[in-house]
Copies of this chain bind each other. A is one copy, B any other.
Amino acid sequence: MMNGHIRVGIYGASGYAGIELVEILVRHPQVTIVFATSNTYAGDTVPGTPLTYIPHAQADLADVDIVFLALPHKASAPVAAAALQAGVKVVDLSADLRLNTPEAYERWYQTPHPNPELLPVPYGLPEINRAQIPGNAVIAAPGCYPTTTILGLYPLLQAHVLLDGAPIIVDAKSGVSGAGREPKPNTHFVEVFSNFSPYSPGRSHRHVGEIEQEIGKLNGAVGPLIFTPHLLPVDRGLMASIYVTLNDGFTSDEAQGLYEETYQHEPLVTVLPPKQQATLRHVVRTNGCAISLTPVTERYLHITSVTDNLRKGASGQAVQCFNLMFGLPETTALL
């Protein structure tokens, strides 16, 4: 602590999620950002702060109470381990701590887990796991596709109204910032502009493992996830278009009420009124999620769930977890 402020370090602060994290934390009244790391931009000014980026290796864990890790998977877990060793709390935005077992990690990331001793770690989706977050030294903040998908399904999963064995179909679309800041052929302006393209379809995207893991904790009897992400020609925003089959105990017309009740006290989740459709504009540059429901037939329900992939899908959610870890009002700096 420093003058009553929580001392924060940010690893990977020059990536798109890292930049948003800085932007949020700069306005957080209980936080002082002590360092922000970036190997690529070391020496440059950290926007909105008096700091300059330092290389990861120069960050001193002794100076901080908590670190946010916005690092690539595989690079993140070792830093988390070192921080915890040093008595520093951790919110990890990477994928390293989201899967509960090293085996699951290796299956989806095709590489051994760098620090299996850390697993499992609480999955930081406060609307579902709020009780597990305070008092923990480390939290795994979920990715953008899982957050948007799981929040869109949660009331149905919890109420056990999905038909056993029926697939959950998610046709998802993400803004380009979800692909990271490093220039690559598929994020070149000319390749994305006026185009729209699926990638990692079916069950090949890495987030399938994370989503199914969390779905399974809520309802172990649902069928497989069918998940097709697409690259949208916008900078930010993420939509999950979800198609589910209901069981006999529940009709699609009841969904609106169920969702409204489930989320009625959630400050960061909005259930739109019937007939309105959730769009990117409902959430871009906010830390919230918006959900709309369409009863298609009695047994089939369509759900649209949207977030800002850099906010509720990354940095906003990380700060939400941080607030809970430190006993601060959950939405501090997020409204």
Which A residues lie at the B interface, using CB under 8 A? 16, 167, 169, 171, 173, 176-177, 181, 183-185, 187-199, 201-203, 224, 226, 228, 230, 232-237, 239, 241, 243, 277-281, 284-285, 292, 294-297, 300, 302, 304
Count the copies: 4
Complex formed: what's the CA distance from A184 to B187 in Å?
10
Contact of A279 among B188, B196, B296 (CB under 8 A): B196
In the assembled complex, how far is the CB of residue A144 from the closest CB belonging to chain B, in whole angstroms? Answer: 14
Chain B residues within 8 Å of A278, by CB: 198
A245 to B, closest residue via Cβ? B167
Q: Is the CB of A302 within 8 A of B202?
A: yes
In the complex the two chains form, what is the Cα distance from A241 to B198 in whole Å? 9
Which chain B residue lies CB-closest to A299? B167
Closest 7 CB pairs of A and B: A183-B183, A197-B279, A171-B171, A202-B296, A176-B189, A201-B294, A189-B192
Nearest CB of B to A253, in Å: 12
Contacts of A176 in B (CB 8 A): 188-190, 193
* With known contacts A183-B188, A203-B296, A294-B202, A232–B196 Cβ distance under 8 A: yes
CB-contact partner of A235 in B193, B198, B202, under 8 A: B193
Contact A280 B197, CB 8 Å, known A169-B169, A188-B187: yes
Contact of A234 among B196, B226, B230 (CB under 8 A): B196
Complex CA gap A196/B16 in Å reads 19
- Closest residue of B by beta carbon distance from A296: B202
Q: Quick one: given A183-B185, A226-B302, A243-B169, are A235 and B190 in contact (CB under 8 Å)?
A: yes
Supply 22 A–B pairs (Cβ within 8 Å), ascending by A: A176-B188, A183-B184, A187-B188, A187-B189, A188-B189, A189-B191, A189-B193, A190-B236, A194-B194, A194-B280, A195-B280, A196-B239, A196-B280, A198-B241, A198-B277, A201-B296, A202-B295, A202-B302, A203-B296, A224-B297, A233-B233, A233-B234
Within 8 Å by CB of A190, from B177, B241, B277, lies B177
User: How many angstroms between the C-alpha atoms of A181 and B190 in the bound complex?
Assistant: 8
Given the complex, which residues of B lie within 8 Å of A196, measured CB to CB? 173, 232, 234, 237, 239, 279-280
Residues A302 and B195 in contact, CB atoms below 8 Å apart: no
CB within 8 Å for A226 and B190 given contacts A171-B241, A183-B184, A234-B196:
no
> A28 CB to closest chain B CB, in angstroms?
16
Given B188, B197, B201, B277, which contacts A302 in the complex, CB threshold below 8 Å? B201
Does A300 contact B226, Cβ atoms closer than 8 Å?
Answer: yes
Q: Which residues of B contact A191 (CB under 8 A)?
A: 189
Query: Quick one: given A183-B183, A188-B181, A189-B188, are A304 and B198 in contact (CB under 8 Å)?
Result: yes
A277 touching B189 in the complex, CB below 8 Å, given contacts A295-B202, A300-B226: no
Give A239 to B197 CA distance when docked, in angstroms: 9
